Structure 1
Amino acid sequence: MNRDYYYSLCCQNHGRHANITDIQGNTFSGKIVNVDQHNVYIQQGNRYGYNPNYYGYQSPVIPVALAAIGGFALGAAFFW
C-alpha cells in the first residue's frame, strides 16, 4: 500500500474509529479527526472524550505519517 491509498482511505473514514499500525509495529487506536497530505490525526482515549490517564476531558491527538502506515482497520472491535 502507498501513501495515496491510505490518504484516500483515511479521508473516506474521517470521524470514524480506527486501529492503525505503523511499519515499526506501533499501534494507534482512536477517532480520525483530521487528514492532510502527510499525516492522519488520531484522537486517542475512550468514546466519551475522557481519558483517565490524561488531565482534562480532551484526549490527545496523535499524528501518524501516512507513509509509515503498515495496517489499517475500522470498527468497534478496537475500542479501549
Structure 2
Amino acid sequence: MQYYFDICNRYKGRHVHITDLCGRKYYGKIVHVDQHHVYLQPTSDFGGYGYGFYTIPIALAAIGGFALGAAFFWI
C-alpha cells in the first residue's frame, strides 16, 4: 500500500490509468491522495475532457496496476 501511496503522490495532478484487483479500469487525473485512497477526477481518455467535477475514491489496497499518461508504462 505504501508503494502506491508514494507513486500516487509523485504523480498527483497527472492523468493516469489505474486497474483495481477486480479488473475495473479507471482513467483520470489524480486530485488527492490520503493514507487509504487515491481520488481521481474522471476523464474520457488521458488527454480528454472530464465528466465533471466529482472524484472517484479508489482504495490504495485495491490497486493492481498503475499506468502514467498515455504511454502505458506499468510501474
Give TM-score scaled by structure 2 length. 0.82
Greater share of residues in strand: 2
| Native 8 Å contact 1:41 1:61 kept in 2 | yes
Unaligned stretches of 5+ residues in structure 1: 52-57
Q: SS at the partner of 2:2?
A: helix
Unaligned stretches of 5+ residues in structure 2: none
Determine the C-alpha separation between the residues in 2 that align with 1:45 and 1:24: 20
Divergent runs of 4+, >4 A: none
Give the corresponding residue for 1:54: none
% identical aligned pairs: 57
- Aligned 1:1-80 pairs, distance under 5 A: 3-46=1-44, 47-49=48-50, 51=51, 58-77=52-71
Counterpart amino acid of 1:75? Answer: G
Bigger relative contact order, structure 1 or 2, given CA contacts below 8 A and separation 6+?
A: 1
Q: How many residues align?
A: 69
Counterpart amino acid of 1:32? Answer: I
Residue 76 of structure 1 deviates from its aligned partner by 2.6
Counterpart amino acid of 2:54? Answer: P
- Higher radius of gyration, 1 or 2: 1
RMSD value, Cα: 1.6
Q: SS at the partner of 2:13?
A: coil
Give TM-score scaled by structure 1 length. 0.77
